[in-house]
Amino acid sequence: MTAETILAWYDRHARTLPWRSPPGASPPDPYRVWLSEIMLQQTTVAAVKPYYERFLARWPSIEALAAAEDAELMAAWAGLGYYSRARNLLACARTVVAEHGGRFPASSAELRRLPGIGDYTAAAIAAIAFGEPAVVVDGNVERVVARLFALESKAAVRLQAAALTPAERPGDYAQAMMDLGATICTPRNPACAICPVRSDCRAFALGAPEAWPVRPPKPAKPHRRAFAFWAEADGHVLLVTRPAKGLLGGMRALPTGAWDAQPSLDDAPFPAPWRLLDPPVRHVFTHFSLDLSVACASVRRDNAAGEWWPMDRLDQAGLPTLFDKAARLALRERMTETATAC
Protein backbone atom coordinates (compact mmCIF):
# COMPACT_ATOMS: atom_id res chain seq x y z
CA MET A 1 0.00 0.00 0.00
CA THR A 2 1.22 3.51 -0.77
CA ALA A 3 0.21 6.91 0.56
CA GLU A 4 -0.58 7.91 -3.02
CA THR A 5 -3.38 5.33 -3.16
CA ILE A 6 -4.94 6.66 0.03
CA LEU A 7 -4.58 10.30 -1.08
CA ALA A 8 -6.11 9.58 -4.48
CA TRP A 9 -9.11 8.00 -2.74
CA TYR A 10 -9.34 10.97 -0.35
CA ASP A 11 -9.31 13.45 -3.23
CA ARG A 12 -12.52 11.83 -4.49
CA HIS A 13 -14.25 10.88 -1.25
CA ALA A 14 -13.16 13.27 1.52
CA ARG A 15 -15.83 14.11 4.05
CA THR A 16 -16.91 17.74 4.11
CA LEU A 17 -16.43 18.93 7.68
CA PRO A 18 -16.61 22.51 8.99
CA TRP A 19 -13.08 22.47 10.41
CA ARG A 20 -11.40 21.11 7.26
CA SER A 21 -9.92 22.55 4.11
CA PRO A 22 -10.73 20.63 0.90
CA PRO A 23 -8.12 18.11 -0.31
CA GLY A 24 -5.07 19.86 -1.74
CA ALA A 25 -6.14 23.31 -0.45
CA SER A 26 -4.20 25.55 1.92
CA PRO A 27 -4.16 24.32 5.54
CA PRO A 28 -7.01 25.46 7.78
CA ASP A 29 -6.66 27.92 10.66
CA PRO A 30 -4.73 26.19 13.50
CA TYR A 31 -7.31 27.51 16.00
CA ARG A 32 -10.08 25.67 14.17
CA VAL A 33 -8.03 22.48 13.90
CA TRP A 34 -7.17 22.57 17.61
CA LEU A 35 -10.75 23.30 18.68
CA SER A 36 -12.14 20.43 16.57
CA GLU A 37 -9.50 17.95 17.71
CA ILE A 38 -10.17 18.66 21.39
CA MET A 39 -13.91 18.29 20.86
CA LEU A 40 -13.50 15.09 18.85
CA GLN A 41 -11.63 13.28 21.60
CA GLN A 42 -13.85 10.26 22.43
CA THR A 43 -16.81 12.06 20.80
CA THR A 44 -18.49 11.49 17.44
CA VAL A 45 -18.38 13.90 14.51
CA ALA A 46 -22.19 14.17 14.58
CA ALA A 47 -22.17 15.24 18.24
CA VAL A 48 -19.32 17.71 17.76
CA LYS A 49 -20.58 19.64 14.71
CA PRO A 50 -23.22 21.80 16.44
CA TYR A 51 -20.97 22.52 19.41
CA TYR A 52 -18.08 23.45 17.14
CA GLU A 53 -20.22 25.86 15.13
CA ARG A 54 -21.66 27.48 18.27
CA PHE A 55 -18.19 27.87 19.79
CA LEU A 56 -16.83 29.51 16.63
CA ALA A 57 -19.76 31.89 16.47
CA ARG A 58 -19.29 32.85 20.12
CA TRP A 59 -15.47 32.79 20.26
CA PRO A 60 -14.16 33.23 16.70
CA SER A 61 -10.50 33.51 17.72
CA ILE A 62 -8.07 32.15 20.29
CA GLU A 63 -7.99 35.61 21.90
CA ALA A 64 -11.76 35.66 22.29
CA LEU A 65 -11.77 32.19 23.82
CA ALA A 66 -8.94 33.05 26.21
CA ALA A 67 -11.01 35.98 27.51
CA ALA A 68 -14.07 33.82 28.22
CA GLU A 69 -15.21 33.37 31.81
CA ASP A 70 -14.81 29.88 33.20
CA ALA A 71 -18.52 29.43 34.00
CA GLU A 72 -19.52 30.74 30.57
CA LEU A 73 -17.34 28.23 28.76
CA MET A 74 -18.32 25.31 30.99
CA ALA A 75 -21.99 26.09 30.37
CA ALA A 76 -21.40 26.19 26.60
CA TRP A 77 -19.67 22.79 26.81
CA ALA A 78 -22.53 21.19 28.77
CA GLY A 79 -23.73 17.96 27.18
CA LEU A 80 -20.54 17.27 25.24
CA GLY A 81 -19.04 15.24 28.11
CA TYR A 82 -15.49 14.63 29.33
CA TYR A 83 -15.48 18.03 31.01
CA SER A 84 -11.76 18.11 31.76
CA ARG A 85 -11.42 18.90 28.04
CA ALA A 86 -13.28 22.17 28.57
CA ARG A 87 -11.06 23.17 31.48
CA ASN A 88 -7.96 22.32 29.45
CA LEU A 89 -9.39 24.17 26.45
CA LEU A 90 -9.53 27.39 28.42
CA ALA A 91 -6.13 26.82 30.02
CA CYS A 92 -4.57 26.15 26.61
CA ALA A 93 -6.15 29.22 25.00
CA ARG A 94 -4.86 31.44 27.80
CA THR A 95 -1.38 29.90 27.53
CA VAL A 96 -1.24 30.41 23.76
CA VAL A 97 -2.29 34.05 24.13
CA ALA A 98 -0.07 34.82 27.13
CA GLU A 99 3.07 32.91 26.12
CA HIS A 100 2.86 32.63 22.31
CA GLY A 101 1.26 35.88 21.28
CA GLY A 102 -1.94 34.14 20.16
CA ARG A 103 -0.15 31.84 17.69
CA PHE A 104 -0.03 28.08 18.11
CA PRO A 105 3.44 26.51 18.02
CA ALA A 106 4.03 24.88 14.63
CA SER A 107 5.68 21.63 15.77
CA SER A 108 4.19 18.61 17.49
CA ALA A 109 6.98 18.70 20.09
CA GLU A 110 6.05 22.25 21.14
CA LEU A 111 2.32 21.62 20.92
CA ARG A 112 2.64 18.75 23.41
CA ARG A 113 3.75 21.26 26.05
CA LEU A 114 0.36 23.00 25.98
CA PRO A 115 -2.42 22.07 28.45
CA GLY A 116 -4.71 19.30 27.25
CA ILE A 117 -2.65 18.39 24.17
CA GLY A 118 -1.25 14.87 24.11
CA ASP A 119 0.68 12.93 21.49
CA TYR A 120 -2.22 12.30 19.11
CA THR A 121 -3.66 15.82 19.26
CA ALA A 122 -0.23 17.43 18.85
CA ALA A 123 0.51 15.26 15.81
CA ALA A 124 -2.90 15.96 14.26
CA ILE A 125 -2.59 19.75 14.65
CA ALA A 126 1.01 19.75 13.42
CA ALA A 127 0.17 17.65 10.35
CA ILE A 128 -3.13 19.27 9.38
CA ALA A 129 -2.42 22.93 10.22
CA PHE A 130 1.34 23.11 9.68
CA GLY A 131 2.26 20.32 7.26
CA GLU A 132 4.58 18.46 9.62
CA PRO A 133 4.84 14.75 8.63
CA ALA A 134 3.82 13.76 12.15
CA VAL A 135 2.53 10.27 12.89
CA VAL A 136 -1.20 10.62 13.55
CA VAL A 137 -2.79 7.55 15.13
CA ASP A 138 -6.34 7.78 16.44
CA GLY A 139 -8.79 4.90 16.81
CA ASN A 140 -9.69 4.94 13.12
CA VAL A 141 -6.08 4.99 11.96
CA GLU A 142 -5.14 2.25 14.42
CA ARG A 143 -7.89 0.01 13.06
CA VAL A 144 -6.90 0.57 9.42
CA VAL A 145 -3.21 -0.12 10.01
CA ALA A 146 -3.83 -3.10 12.30
CA ARG A 147 -6.01 -4.74 9.64
CA LEU A 148 -3.76 -3.90 6.71
CA PHE A 149 -0.83 -5.71 8.31
CA ALA A 150 -2.66 -8.01 10.78
CA LEU A 151 -0.81 -6.42 13.68
CA GLU A 152 -1.58 -7.35 17.27
CA SER A 153 0.18 -4.65 19.31
CA LYS A 154 -0.19 -0.88 19.48
CA ALA A 155 3.59 -0.50 19.28
CA ALA A 156 3.70 -2.41 15.99
CA VAL A 157 0.81 -0.34 14.65
CA ARG A 158 2.58 2.90 15.47
CA LEU A 159 5.81 1.77 13.84
CA GLN A 160 3.98 0.80 10.66
CA ALA A 161 1.95 4.03 10.70
CA ALA A 162 5.20 5.99 10.88
CA ALA A 163 6.60 4.07 7.92
CA LEU A 164 3.50 4.90 5.86
CA THR A 165 3.32 8.63 6.69
CA PRO A 166 4.39 10.68 3.63
CA ALA A 167 6.44 13.87 3.61
CA GLU A 168 4.06 15.42 1.07
CA ARG A 169 0.49 16.33 2.08
CA PRO A 170 0.78 14.81 5.58
CA GLY A 171 -2.36 16.64 6.76
CA ASP A 172 -4.48 15.31 3.92
CA TYR A 173 -3.01 11.86 4.45
CA ALA A 174 -3.87 11.90 8.19
CA GLN A 175 -7.45 12.94 7.42
CA ALA A 176 -7.67 10.37 4.62
CA MET A 177 -6.76 7.58 7.03
CA MET A 178 -9.31 8.89 9.53
CA ASP A 179 -11.99 8.96 6.84
CA LEU A 180 -11.10 5.47 5.65
CA GLY A 181 -11.54 4.13 9.17
CA ALA A 182 -14.72 6.12 9.82
CA THR A 183 -16.55 5.32 6.59
CA ILE A 184 -15.17 2.04 5.16
CA CYS A 185 -12.88 0.21 7.60
CA THR A 186 -15.47 0.43 10.36
CA PRO A 187 -15.35 -1.58 13.61
CA ARG A 188 -18.23 -3.79 12.49
CA ASN A 189 -19.26 -4.83 8.99
CA PRO A 190 -16.40 -3.05 7.17
CA ALA A 191 -17.15 -2.22 3.54
CA CYS A 192 -14.23 -4.21 2.16
CA ALA A 193 -15.82 -4.44 -1.30
CA ILE A 194 -15.22 -0.72 -1.92
CA CYS A 195 -12.00 -0.30 0.07
CA PRO A 196 -9.19 1.28 -2.01
CA VAL A 197 -6.52 -0.82 -0.27
CA ARG A 198 -8.36 -4.15 -0.11
CA SER A 199 -5.78 -5.88 -2.30
CA ASP A 200 -3.04 -4.96 0.19
CA CYS A 201 -5.01 -5.86 3.32
CA ARG A 202 -3.74 -8.88 5.26
CA ALA A 203 -6.89 -9.10 7.42
CA PHE A 204 -9.10 -9.18 4.32
CA ALA A 205 -6.92 -11.89 2.80
CA LEU A 206 -7.31 -13.94 5.97
CA GLY A 207 -11.09 -13.54 5.74
CA ALA A 208 -11.52 -12.00 9.19
CA PRO A 209 -11.05 -8.22 9.13
CA GLU A 210 -13.10 -7.72 12.31
CA ALA A 211 -10.56 -9.79 14.27
CA TRP A 212 -8.29 -6.74 14.27
CA PRO A 213 -7.36 -4.71 16.22
CA VAL A 214 -6.98 -7.30 18.95
CA ARG A 215 -8.66 -6.00 22.11
CA PRO A 216 -8.27 -7.39 25.63
CA PRO A 217 -11.58 -8.18 27.36
CA LYS A 218 -13.07 -5.18 29.15
CA PRO A 219 -13.46 -5.49 32.91
CA ALA A 220 -16.96 -5.05 34.29
CA LYS A 221 -17.73 -1.48 35.30
CA PRO A 222 -18.45 -0.88 38.99
CA HIS A 223 -21.90 0.46 39.85
CA ARG A 224 -22.52 3.35 42.22
CA ARG A 225 -25.53 5.08 43.74
CA ALA A 226 -26.12 8.64 44.90
CA PHE A 227 -28.76 11.19 45.78
CA ALA A 228 -29.27 14.51 44.02
CA PHE A 229 -31.31 17.17 45.81
CA TRP A 230 -33.86 19.32 44.01
CA ALA A 231 -34.52 22.20 46.43
CA GLU A 232 -36.95 24.79 45.08
CA ALA A 233 -38.10 28.14 46.42
CA ASP A 234 -40.16 30.87 44.77
CA GLY A 235 -39.73 29.50 41.25
CA HIS A 236 -35.98 28.92 41.68
CA VAL A 237 -33.91 25.78 42.17
CA LEU A 238 -30.68 25.51 44.13
CA LEU A 239 -27.59 24.83 42.02
CA VAL A 240 -23.99 24.45 43.13
CA THR A 241 -20.68 24.54 41.28
CA ARG A 242 -18.83 21.26 41.54
CA PRO A 243 -15.18 21.35 42.70
CA ALA A 244 -12.77 22.29 39.91
CA LYS A 245 -10.96 18.96 40.17
CA GLY A 246 -12.78 15.69 39.76
CA LEU A 247 -15.73 14.37 37.80
CA LEU A 248 -17.80 17.13 36.15
CA GLY A 249 -15.44 19.62 37.76
CA GLY A 250 -16.38 23.28 37.48
CA MET A 251 -19.90 22.52 36.21
CA ARG A 252 -23.18 23.74 37.67
CA ALA A 253 -25.13 20.85 39.18
CA LEU A 254 -27.76 19.88 41.71
CA PRO A 255 -26.31 19.28 45.18
CA THR A 256 -25.41 15.63 45.74
CA GLY A 257 -24.09 13.38 48.43
CA ALA A 258 -21.30 10.85 48.09
CA TRP A 259 -21.32 8.56 45.05
CA ASP A 260 -20.92 5.14 46.59
CA ALA A 261 -22.73 1.89 47.33
CA GLN A 262 -24.72 3.23 50.32
CA PRO A 263 -25.91 6.82 49.74
CA SER A 264 -27.94 8.54 52.42
CA LEU A 265 -30.51 11.33 52.62
CA ASP A 266 -28.38 12.61 55.47
CA ASP A 267 -26.12 13.95 52.71
CA ALA A 268 -28.73 16.61 51.90
CA PRO A 269 -27.46 20.21 51.87
CA PHE A 270 -29.87 21.05 54.73
CA PRO A 271 -32.80 19.44 56.60
CA ALA A 272 -36.06 19.45 54.64
CA PRO A 273 -39.05 17.17 53.96
CA TRP A 274 -37.24 15.40 51.12
CA ARG A 275 -39.38 13.18 48.89
CA LEU A 276 -37.77 10.61 46.59
CA LEU A 277 -38.80 10.40 42.95
CA ASP A 278 -38.91 7.15 41.05
CA PRO A 279 -37.16 5.73 39.11
CA PRO A 280 -33.59 6.92 39.63
CA VAL A 281 -31.65 8.42 36.75
CA ARG A 282 -29.26 5.90 35.17
CA HIS A 283 -26.04 7.28 33.68
CA VAL A 284 -22.92 5.54 32.41
CA PHE A 285 -19.52 7.17 32.75
CA THR A 286 -16.26 5.90 31.27
CA HIS A 287 -15.27 3.89 34.33
CA PHE A 288 -18.52 3.25 36.21
CA SER A 289 -22.31 3.40 36.02
CA LEU A 290 -24.47 5.44 38.37
CA ASP A 291 -28.04 5.37 39.67
CA LEU A 292 -28.87 8.90 40.79
CA SER A 293 -32.00 9.12 42.93
CA VAL A 294 -33.63 12.56 42.97
CA ALA A 295 -34.99 13.91 46.25
CA CYS A 296 -37.28 16.96 46.06
CA ALA A 297 -38.39 19.52 48.62
CA SER A 298 -39.89 22.99 48.72
CA VAL A 299 -37.74 25.11 51.03
CA ARG A 300 -36.83 28.63 52.05
CA ARG A 301 -33.71 30.27 50.70
CA ASP A 302 -32.26 30.82 54.17
CA ASN A 303 -28.79 29.38 54.83
CA ALA A 304 -28.51 27.65 51.46
CA ALA A 305 -25.03 27.83 49.98
CA GLY A 306 -25.17 27.94 46.21
CA GLU A 307 -26.96 29.71 43.39
CA TRP A 308 -30.74 30.04 43.12
CA TRP A 309 -31.50 29.60 39.44
CA PRO A 310 -34.87 30.46 37.82
CA MET A 311 -36.59 27.21 36.86
CA ASP A 312 -37.99 28.75 33.69
CA ARG A 313 -34.42 29.43 32.52
CA LEU A 314 -32.89 26.15 33.62
CA ASP A 315 -31.95 25.33 30.03
CA GLN A 316 -29.47 28.22 30.22
CA ALA A 317 -27.64 26.91 33.29
CA GLY A 318 -25.38 24.58 31.28
CA LEU A 319 -26.09 21.48 33.35
CA PRO A 320 -24.11 18.40 32.31
CA THR A 321 -26.14 15.52 30.92
CA LEU A 322 -26.47 13.64 34.23
CA PHE A 323 -27.97 16.62 36.05
CA ASP A 324 -30.02 17.67 33.05
CA LYS A 325 -31.68 14.25 33.24
CA ALA A 326 -32.27 14.68 36.98
CA ALA A 327 -33.72 18.17 36.48
CA ARG A 328 -36.06 16.95 33.74
CA LEU A 329 -37.30 14.20 36.07
CA ALA A 330 -38.05 16.76 38.80
CA LEU A 331 -39.75 19.14 36.38
CA ARG A 332 -41.92 16.34 34.97
CA GLU A 333 -42.96 15.46 38.51
CA ARG A 334 -43.91 19.10 39.18
CA MET A 335 -46.03 19.21 36.02
CA THR A 336 -47.77 15.97 36.99
CA GLU A 337 -48.54 17.29 40.46
CA THR A 338 -49.90 20.54 39.02
CA ALA A 339 -52.11 18.69 36.55
CA THR A 340 -53.41 16.40 39.30
CA ALA A 341 -54.19 19.34 41.57
CA CYS A 342 -56.21 20.97 38.78
Residue 336 pLDDT grade (very low, low, confident, very high; cuts 50, 70, 90): confident
CA dist., res. 182 & res. 140, Å (int) = 6
Q: Could you tell me if 18 and 52 are in contact, meaning their C-beta atoms sit under 8 angstroms apart?
A: yes
pLDDT at 283 over 90: yes
Q: Please say whether the structural domain 3-211 has been given the CATH code 1.10.340.30.
A: yes
Euclidean distance between CA atoms 31 and 104, whole angstroms:
8
Using a CB cutoff of 8 Å and minimum separation of 24, what contacts does 46-53 make?
A: 47/80, 48/80, 49/17, 49/18, 51/76, 51/77, 51/79, 51/80, 52/18, 52/19, 53/18
Q: In this predicted model, which residue has the larger pLDDT, 240 or 303?
A: 240
Per CATH, domain 223-341 is 3.40.50.10860: no
What whole-number distance in Å separates Cα of residue 171 and Cα of residue 204?
27
Which distant-in-sequence residues (6+ apart) come within 8 Å of 147 by Cβ?
Answer: 185, 190, 201, 202, 203, 204, 209, 212, 213
Q: Tell me the average pLDDT across 236-263.
A: 89
Q: What is the pTM of this model?
A: 0.84
Exposure pattern of 300-321 as b/e (b: 16+ CB <10 Å)? eeeebebebbebeebeebbbbe
pLDDT band of 263, cuts 50, 70, 90:
confident
List C-alpha distances in Å: 176 to 184, 234, 285: 11, 56, 31
pLDDT of residue 340: 53
Q: Which residues pair with 237 in a beta bridge?
A: 232, 309
**What pLDDT sits at residue 317?**
93
- For residues 183 and 12, the answer to whether their CB atoms sit within 8 Å is no
| Res 127: pLDDT | 98
- The string of pLDDT tens digits covering residues 81-123 is 889 999 999 999 999 999 999 999 999 999 999 999 999 999 9
Percentage of the chain lying above the pLDDT 70 cut: 98
The mean pLDDT of 235-244, rounded to a whole number, is: 93
Band (2; pLDDT cuts 50, 70, 90): confident
| Integer Cα distance of 95 and 114 in angstroms | 7
Residue 295 pLDDT:
96
| pLDDT at 188 > cutoff 70 | yes
User: Does residue 217 register a pLDDT over 90?
Assistant: no
For the chain, the structural domain boundaries read 3-211, 223-341
Q: Which amino acid is at 83?
A: Y
> How many Cβ atoms sit within 10 Å of the Cβ of residue 132?
21
pLDDT digits (tens, 9 = 90+) for 152-166: 999 999 999 999 999
From the list 102, 134, 104, 99, the residue with the least C-alpha distance to 38 is 104
Residue 342 has pLDDT above 50, yes or no: no
Share above pLDDT 90 across residues of the chain, in percent, rounded to a whole number? 84
Residue-level pLDDT at 304: 75
Catalytic center residues: 37
Top-confidence residue, 221 or 172: 172
